[in-house]
Structure 1
């Protein structure tokens, strides 16, 4: 892989990360406007208002770029710099220099226990609740719900976009999915020979 290909890959990865972060933050901002003391369409009025504000902001930005086309160069440069920074990965040399500083692989069962503890007696837990809990304990600072969702998916922890706990359905984890045997446990059980005659 040559230098140009690596640079293009880094910009593409960074753009994907930025798009997901911005989308997740906007979705969280819109979802927080839902009123839990109301029901029906009245509860969602705040969400619709925030969606209208986002649409108005995008329209005004488009009109501004139409009026001042040179502004598009500035916006493109800003996006490129942000994508370059977001797409940064540690260099192989740095990884070779300090292998002892690498984070240990997460324990899937410990993650499942944490999620079950956060659920309490509920049927599920929303990822924003999990993220808030982690940040209260000094972990996952500056990360988003999307980052947490991707991390859980890598650990084969099932996530669902329709988890409803006391209000708006959003990304979360359901108890029934966690209480099913984990893929690791299922593989171990499959490799144990049967003692039956």
Structure 2
């Protein structure tokens, strides 16, 4: 009986881990493809000409999806290779998931940033604007040797864990995507009341 319970517990743990990893892989792929399609928009053009780039890239993605479907239909055993690749990617992604409590060196370096310092960094990147895209923040961090190999989804999850508001409709340069708004960022930080409340006792 104990062996059977242990077997079911291990099976449930593996299933949960694969489910979390699959969700992470799916979000990373969607964010990457979305960013790639949006990057095709011409900022020096207006109207339908500016939208030609994203439309062409959408057509290419559709053609690629159809080609993969046609190949798998012609050679069904390739589906097993795709399934194996997905399971491997999901398993690896779950190891870096915050739910597992396992962090790689780049994530540990990012967590070392104090919330106040990170908020100020976001404000600096905004400049005089009303918001900043997460892909801009990620590019800045990677230029300074941090968050190498990470994605916008990883950064979004990290900011949410630090109680920094993020939104997928932040518009900068006519392009709405995941980002941080100034009005949300300039609101009092959840850390500040705790620090002010402990200041009198420290002084005493």
Q: TM-score, normalised by structure 2?
A: 0.81
Corresponding position: 1:64 with 2:64: no
Corresponding residue for 2:21?
14
Q: TM-score, normalised by structure 1?
A: 0.84
- Give the one of 26, 35, 40 matched to 2:33: 26
Q: How does 1:129-168 map to 2 (within 5 A)?
A: 129-168=136-175
Structure 1: which 5+ residue stretches go unaligned? 96-100
Supply the distance in 2 between the matched residues of 1:54 and 1:30 (Cα, whole angstroms).
9
Supply the distance in 1 between the matched residues of 2:15 and 2:198 (Cα, whole angstroms).
43
Corresponding position: 1:116 with 2:119: no
Q: How far 1:189 sits from its partner (Å)?
A: 6.4
Supply the distance in 1 between the matched residues of 2:49 and 2:194 (Cα, whole angstroms).
49
Corresponding residue for 2:58?
51
Describe the SS at the equivalent of 2:42. Answer: coil
| Aligned length, in residue pairs | 184
Supply the distance in 2 between the matched residues of 1:23 and 1:184 (Cα, whole angstroms).
32
Supply the distance in 1 between the matched residues of 2:111 and 2:90 (Cα, whole angstroms).
28
Corresponding residue for 1:75?
82
CA contact (8 A) 2:110 2:146 kept: no
Can you list the C-alpha shifts for 1:18-74, whole angstroms capped at 9, x where unaligned?
111111110111011000001122111110111111111111111111111111111
Corresponding residue for 2:5?
none
- After superposition, the CA RMSD in angstroms is 2.5
Distance 1:190 1:39, change over 3 A: farther
